[in-house]
Amino acid sequence: MSKEITPRAQDYSQWYNDLVIKGSLADHSAVRGCMVIKPYGFALWENMRDVLDKMFKDTGHQNAYFPLFIPKSLFEAEEKNAEGFAKECAIVTHYRLKTDPNNKGKLIVDPEAKLEEELVVRPTSEAIIWNTYKGWIQSYRDLPILVNQWANVVRWEMRTRLFLRTAEFLWQEGHTAHATKAEAVEETTKMLDVYADFVENWMALPVIKGVKTPNERFAGAEDTYCIEAMMQDGKALQAGTSHFLGQNFAKAFDVKFSDKNNNLEYVWATSWGVSTRLIGALVMAHSDDQGLVLPPKIAPLQVVIVPIFKGDEQKAAIDAKVTVMMAELKALGVSVKYDDSDNARPGWKFAEYEMKGVPVRIAIGARDLEQNIVEVARRDTKEKANASIDGIGIHVKNLLDEIQQNIFNRAKAFRDDHITEANTWEEFVQLLDTKTGFISAHWDGTPETEDKIKEQTKATIRCIPLDNKQEAGTCILSGNPSTQRVLFARAY
């Protein structure tokens, strides 16, 4: 089992791939662009999902489930949405195979079994959901509808990368319906806040909340809000989006309601989602050349205990102590594993759990028992220190909190250090080449300028930060007047 990880400095992309595969998060599969999420990786996703799910429910949402397939006629109803996704859709055209008369043991698509209407494998579910909502909404009393679904979607991407961009991915998509514009806008920003809260406080990943420019907007949305995170190579990664859909889908699917005055009005909509891509963000943001670094609050395993012993007698003494420690840790809600497998020596285990990003490792040997101590190593800094076995539960619990905070602080310091202002085009271009990260610069607000900048530098406008201060300036490219700075970066 070769466990060498390509160093970040040598090849950042390869480093990322190594982490995902050697950290046991996921593997490539036999299907182009689709990955197998392995138990360790899925445990991570489950933890993330559980926290988010609770946050959604705490903000009044309910889960439901809609079909994987969308009849083409429904899919094309909202024109912009359909156009935006058309070139990356998988389509079901037949419903039966038959044995190939010319080739024994092989199957062919039965031409007799062609569908009357093709089915689009959902790249997103607005269409099927709004078609359904039409039947759910008659009066203002039916509103709001606050529904979320956990699902898989398919987007036939040209170039895929584990977690960051796969042809099929897992996500949640919230779809809400409201009686007023104000309420829908409020929902949009509320869910953006939920995402930011989750990503910062659970994934320890600092984000910038902002609005997308028209160019970068979700197909079919009036406004797309987003949270943008920075990876260790300075590139931006969109970590979540929340869309204010206006009345676009209500009009496309003719969803109207009677208000209090008995007037028929179109319904206002939002949709919002985060995906397994978040795992990619997590990996890229915190990990190092030894392996994954996972935030304690969502790590599949928080603590691993490794025994060091000679002979059965010592092992038995260690076992007894460990049993007590495990009970203490579990009582405090800490997930802990005792790895006393005898097919690997301690050094091997140390390296292995570092690879997997387990936040805290406890080593306990005969000489520790004499002093009633253990060696506690933290993954984020790799510091090791002795700790008394008495009160180990509280000690570790506090350490986990400290690690969580430290990982966040580290990522935030890095990010803040990599946001730079540029005031001229020369400065802007030079910064992109010399210093990675986000660039805060004036833009004249036109899609044409944005396109030109993208063409020349590959940098896109990640967002217009929500807390932006207004200041007069001139666009770095066109020189036209501007009222505020926006954030540029090369992005994943």
Partner RNA sequence: CGGGAAGUGGCGCAGGCCGGUAGCGCAUCUGGUUUGGGACCAGGGGGUCGCAGGUUCGAAUCCUGUCUUCCCGACCA
* Nearer to RNA among residue 145 and residue 364 (C-beta): 364
Stretch that binds RNA, among 139-147, 305-313, 412-420, 476-484 (CB under 7 A): 305-313
* Residue 17 or 423 having the CB closest to RNA: 17
Nearest residue (CB) to RNA, 32 versus 141: 32
User: Is residue 276 part of the contact set for RNA (CB under 7 A)?
Assistant: yes
Q: Which span sits near RNA by CB under 7 A: 47-55, 194-202, 296-304, 368-376?
A: 368-376
| Residue 121 interacting with RNA (CB under 7 A) | no
**Which backbone phi and psi does 487 adopt, to 5 degrees?**
-100, 120
Question: Which 397-456 positions form the footprint of RNA (CB under 7 A)?
Answer: none
Q: Of the two residues 159 and 260, which places its CB atom closer to RNA in the complex?
A: 159
Instruction: Number of residues interacting with RNA: please give it, by CB under 7 A.
Output: 65
In contact, 95 and 109? CB cutoff 8 Å: no
State the minimum distance, in angstroms, from the CB of residue 455 to RNA.
Answer: 8
Q: Does 2 bind RNA (CB under 7 A)?
A: yes
457 binds RNA per the rule CB under 7 A: no
Q: What part of residues 336-355 is at the interface with RNA (CB under 7 A)?
A: 342-348, 350-352, 354-355
Show the 3-state SS of the chain: CCCCCCCCCCCHHHHHHHHHHHCCCEEECCCCCCEEECHHHHHHHHHHHHHHHHHHHHCCCEECCCCCEEEHHHHCCCHHHHHHHHCCCEEEEECCEEECCCCCCCEEECHHHEEEEEEEECCCCHHHHHHHHHHHCCEHHHCCEEEEEEEEEECCCCCCECCCECCEEEEEEEEEEECCHHHHHHHHHHHHHHHHHHHHHCCCCCCEEEECCHHHCCCCCCEEEEEEEECCCCCEEEEEEEEEEECHHHHHCCCEEECCCCCEEECEEEEEEEECHHHHHHHHHHCECCECCCCCCCCCCCEEEEEECCHHHHHHHHHHHHHHHHHHHHHCCCCEEECCCCCCCHHHHHHHHHHCCCCEEEEEEHHHHHHCEEEEEECCCCCEEEEECCCHHHHHHHHHHHHHHHHHHHHHHHHHHCEEECCCHHHHHHHHHHCCCEEEEECCCCHHHHHHHHHHHCCEEEEEECCCCEEEEECCCCCCEEEEEEEEECEC
User: For RNA, which residue of 364, 396, 407, 459 counts as binding (CB under 7 A)?
Assistant: 364
Residues 283-302 that bind RNA (CB under 7 A): 290
Could you tell me which stretch among 68-76, 251-259, 363-371, 393-401 binds RNA (CB under 7 A)? 363-371
Please identify which residue in 238, 248, 404, 482 interacts with RNA, judged by CB under 7 A: 238
* Nearer to RNA among residue 86 and residue 324 (C-beta): 86
If one asks whether residue 459 binds RNA (CB under 7 A), the answer comes out as no
Q: Which of residues 161-200 bind RNA (CB under 7 A)?
A: 161-162, 164-167, 169
CB closer to RNA out of 346 and 473: 346
Indicate whether 3 belongs to the interface with RNA (CB under 7 A): yes
**Amino acid letter, 96:** R
Residues 47, 148, 172, 241: which binds RNA (CB under 7 A)? Answer: 241
Whole-number minimum distance, CB 236 to RNA, in Å?
A: 10
Instruction: State the minimum distance, in angstroms, from the CB of residue 59 to RNA.
Output: 22
Nearer to RNA (CB atom), residue 137 or residue 329:
329
Tell which positions 204-233 bind RNA, by CB under 7 A: 216, 218
- Which of 54, 96, 382, 452 touches RNA (CB under 7 A)? 382
Residues that bind RNA (CB under 7 A): 1-4, 13-14, 17, 28, 30-34, 87-88, 155, 157-162, 164-167, 169, 216, 218, 238, 241, 275-277, 290, 308-311, 342-348, 350-352, 354-355, 363-368, 374-375, 377, 382, 384, 458, 491-492
